[in-house]
């Protein structure tokens, strides 16, 4: 008898039927003196009681400004303790947090703030080459909904962080408690922008129930508990940091540790060694950077046991080195997408090593998944490839103010169509074998070629353009752009990079350029990107690395 490619996750631990604020309060009541968050680069070490005081002050400050339930508050910053405070404060008083990638430039941040209708922006003032104050000033006149701008460590905005917390005195605790009690766990609480195949990012809208339960499930499968310390060098604007990290820790009374504002291999190794971290998160490029660092052997990583590697395909040898050289015997692989809060498959600590290096694990608790024929929609037998679909508590509410895109992603039966090609074996383990969509994953960042193509179409030398992903040992994939030039025009890769500088995020800037007279096409006029990949790999001397 043929077994269909359908799996459903079970658990002895029930789903959490609370809002994020109520769940945090419950943890604080039981573990007030446990360490909640360590932000090493800021010198911050807050217990759960101290963190809750910061959260309540921020929530009441937002209410004093007139920010209310359902209003959108943007967060544009690298990893800082204030990011986490803002995350929980907005959840407590019912505002919707809008995550903004710290790498965004003017056109991207303007789009996110305008499309979501943010009333307030909380932003870093500067980070690396990003001058957030200047970029915000450049777009603010085009954002009529944006009433308040707050810069961390700067008085260049309408108010300061300290000023916001001081405004808590204008809203009594009882008022916050009343609003918090009125919230429902199915309320939307977070918007995260994903690059769009139509050239514009889509705002995946997530609820308390979505992200609280997913974070709790991910850390549960790592065996994290009260007092365990989890090192989180991944960015908070991703689900990886704010859901699998922050919410995964607070739902279990564990400690989240930020080594630095952005990933730094030495800062991360130091954090693990000096804080005695049990778990460590990262995309494969982060683990490679740590393992290959000249000072790797100087750090005592014996406290490590578990963690998550996700974001892009994991090279098999990297996984093995994490187990042997970093003591991560219980390391897990996770697979998912922002639209599913994010994780839908994860390996277990007791899975055989061959399953942990060759699959993305089994379906998460309370999540359903099936593999379908993309043409017919029928469920395929086990062992046959097809499109991976996910259903359950973790599926987003939809794309913010975009019902057409929502209908294209979630079908009438509630299945989220991932666009990923996968196989489920007889034991229920999934393996991602390709992508229906032409998304490129560069160092854990999802990049959709159409977005870059539409941007490069504005270059005066470009007549037509196609963007593909080619294999790269460091980042997994890199961007290669094929360009047809306008008559009499010339273009170099340096020229492409200069055109992109400051206008799109650094990870979207192409590494390779190929000038061509024509693109490979089907008889019906569709571009054959797979042929472009083959040609580019041959010309550039690139070879695919073995991946899990």
Task: Give the structural domain span for 524.
Answer: 447-540
Mean pLDDT over 41-55 rounds to 98
Domain assignment of residue 476, yes or no = yes
Domain assignment of residue 90, yes or no = no
DSSP letter (8 states) at residue 2: P
Domain assignment of residue 394, yes or no = no
Beta bridge partners of 255: 229
Inter-residue contact 194 to 399 (CB < 8 Å):
no
Domain assignment of residue 525, yes or no = yes
Domain assignment of residue 530, yes or no = yes
CA angle, residues 457, 458, 461, in degrees to nearest 5: 80
Domain assignment of residue 488, yes or no = yes
Residue 547 confidence (pLDDT):
44
18-27, 402-411, 432-441, 442-451: range with lowest mean pLDDT: 432-441
DSSP H helical ranges for 341-492: 353-358, 403-409, 449-456
What's the token pair of residue 231? 């090192």
Residue 107 backbone phi and psi in degrees, to 5: -65, -35
Tens digit of each residue's pLDDT (9 = 90 or more) over 4-16: 999 999 999 999 9
CATH of the domain at 527: 3.30.300.30
- pTM to 2 decimal places: 0.87
Mean pLDDT, rounded, of the chain: 94
Q: What's the rounded Cα separation, in Å, for the pair 255 and 266?
A: 20
Q: How many C-alpha atoms does 516 have within 13 Å on its Cβ side?
A: 17
Q: What's the rounded Cα separation, in Å, for the pair 322 and 314?
A: 11
275-289, 291-305, 530-544: range with lowest mean pLDDT: 530-544
Mean pLDDT over 535-542 rounds to 93
Q: What's the rounded Cα separation, in Å, for the pair 48 and 93?
A: 19
Q: What's the rounded Cα separation, in Å, for the pair 103 and 446?
A: 13
What's the token pair of residue 188? 């939307």
Domain assignment of residue 402, yes or no = no
Residue 548 confidence (pLDDT):
41
Exposed/middle/buried for 276, CB within 10 Å: 0-12, 13-18, 19+? middle
User: How many structural domains compose the chain?
Assistant: 1
Burial 466-484 (b: 16+ CB within 10 A, else e): bbbbbbbeebbbbbbbbbe
Neighbours of 149 (CB within 10 A): 22
Domain assignment of residue 463, yes or no = yes
């Amino acid at each position: 008898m043929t077994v269909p490619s359908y799996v459903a996750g079970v658990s002895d631990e029930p789903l959490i039927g609370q809002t994020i604020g109520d769940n945090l309060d419950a943890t604080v009541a039981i573990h007030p003196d446990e360490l909640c968050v360590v932000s090493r680069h800021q010198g911050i070490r807050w217990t759960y009681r101290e963190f809750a005081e910061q959260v309540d002050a921020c929530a009441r400050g937002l209410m004093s400004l007139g920010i209310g339930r359902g209003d959108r508050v943007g967060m544009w910053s690298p990893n800082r303790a204030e990011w986490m405070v803002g995350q929980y404060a907005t959840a407590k008083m019912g505002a919707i947090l809008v995550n903004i990638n710290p790498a965004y430039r003017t056109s991207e941040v303007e789009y996110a703030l305008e499309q979501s209708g943010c009333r307030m922006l909380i932003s870093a003032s500067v980070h690396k080459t990003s001058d957030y104050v200047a970029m915000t000033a450049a777009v603010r006149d085009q954002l009529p909904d944006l009433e308040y701008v707050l810069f961390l460590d700067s008085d260049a905005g309408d108010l300061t962080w300290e000023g916001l917390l001081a405004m808590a005195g204008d809203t009594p605790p009882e008022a916050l408690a009343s609003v918090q009690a009125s919230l429902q766990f199915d309320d939307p609480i977070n918007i995260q922008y994903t690059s769009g195949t139509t050239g514009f990012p889509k705002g995946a809208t997530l609820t308390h129930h979505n992200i609280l339960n997913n974070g709790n499930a991910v850390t549960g499968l790592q065996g994290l508990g009260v007092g365990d310390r989890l090192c989180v060098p991944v960015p908070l604007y991703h689900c990886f940091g704010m859901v699998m990290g922050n919410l995964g820790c607070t739902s279990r009374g564990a400690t989240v540790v930020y080594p630095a504002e952005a990933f730094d291999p030495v800062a991360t190794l130091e954090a693990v060694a000096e804080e005695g971290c049990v778990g460590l998160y990262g995309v494969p490029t982060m683990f490679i950077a740590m393992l290959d660092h000249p000072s790797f052997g100087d750090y005592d990583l014996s406290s490590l046991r578990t963690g998550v590697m996700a974001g892009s395909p994991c090279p098999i040898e990297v996984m093995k080195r994490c187990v042997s050289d970093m003591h991560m015997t219980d390391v897990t692989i996770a697979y998912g997408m922002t639209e599913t809060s994010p994780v839908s498959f994860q390996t277990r600590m007791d899975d055989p090593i061959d399953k942990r290096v060759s699959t993305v694990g089994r379906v998460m608790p309370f999540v359903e998944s099936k593999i379908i024929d993309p043409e017919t929609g029928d469920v395929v037998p086990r062992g046959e490839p097809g499109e991976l679909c996910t259903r359950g508590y973790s599926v987003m509410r939809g794309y913010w103010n975009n019902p057409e895109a929502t209908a294209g992603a979630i079908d009438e039966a509630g299945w989220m169509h991932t666009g990923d090609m996968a196989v489920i074996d007889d034991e229920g383990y999934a393996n991602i074998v390709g992508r229906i969509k032409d998304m490129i994953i560069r160092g854990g960042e999802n990049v959709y070629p159409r977005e870059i193509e539409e941007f490069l179409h504005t270059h005066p030398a470009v007549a037509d353009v196609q963007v593909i992903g080619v294999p790269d040992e460091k980042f997994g994939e890199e961007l290669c752009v094929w360009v047809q030039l306008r008559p009499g025009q010339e273009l170099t890769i340096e020229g492409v990079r200069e055109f992109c500088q400051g206008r799109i995020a650094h990870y979207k800037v192409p590494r390779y350029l190929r000038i061509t007279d024509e693109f490979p096409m089907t008889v019906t006029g569709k571009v054959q990107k797979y042929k472009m990949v083959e040609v580019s790999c041959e010309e550039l001397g690139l070879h695919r690395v073995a991946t899990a």
